[in-house]
Amino acid sequence: MTPAAGFLTFLCVTLVCLGGVVVTGRAAKRKAHLSWVAGAVVGLGVTIYFAEGLGERYDLEAAGWIYPFHLLLAKVTTGSYLVVVGSGVATIKQSSHRKTHSRIAYSVLFLTVLTAITGASMLLAATPLA
Ligand code: HEM
């Protein structure tokens, strides 16, 4: 699989899994929620793997400020998954944490979308290597 095909495939897999995470979380279907979370985390890992391969085919420096901005955002977003997992575990132990988990989860989803948008903008502004 080429890096571009792998990246697009696993980005879609991750988005579908995140949809499953939100639907099952809202419906309080905990077992299904955890399965979708595991799928989303694995999907995200594979997407990042292919994204790195894709990045090697471009002169990303040519994209300007969006390159370091996207890299910073990608690191913050990846780290924020640890926070949402932590708040999810806290919600299992004590259900009163559900509102906090929900707020953190939607913020992480927003960061994920923002990371995808800045990543796509970065590639569009970069110069493909011969
Ligand atoms: C190991 C990781 C996680 C655990 C243990 C966990 C656990 C939970 C639990 C216990 C609930 C409440 C369901 C209930 O009331 O029975 C919940 C709801 C929810 N979770 Fe998670 N979760 C995890 C990760 C995530 C992730 C990664 C996201 C999305 C980025 C997410 C999004 C949500 C949403 C949107 C809700 C519904 C909140 C609401 O509408 O009130 N969760 N989760």
pTM for this model (two decimals)? 0.90
Measured from the Cα of 89, ligand 1's closest atom is 5
Does ligand 1 lie within 6 Å of residue 25's CB atom? yes
pLDDT of residue 62: 96
| The predicted structure's pLDDT at residue 123 | 93
| pLDDT for the residue 130 | 80
Most informative mutation of 30, 100, 101, 104 for ligand 1 (most atoms within 8 A of CB): 101
Distance CA 128, CA 101 (A): 41
pLDDT given at position 117: 95
Look at residue 17 in the predicted model and tell me its pLDDT: 98
Q: Ligand 1 centre and the CA of 36: distance in Å? A: 10
Q: Taking the domains of the chain in order of start, what are their residue ranges?
A: 1-56, 60-130
Q: Whose CA is nearest to atom 7 of ligand 1?
A: 88
pLDDT along the chain (130 residues), means of 10: 94 96 97 98 95 94 97 95 97 97 98 95 93
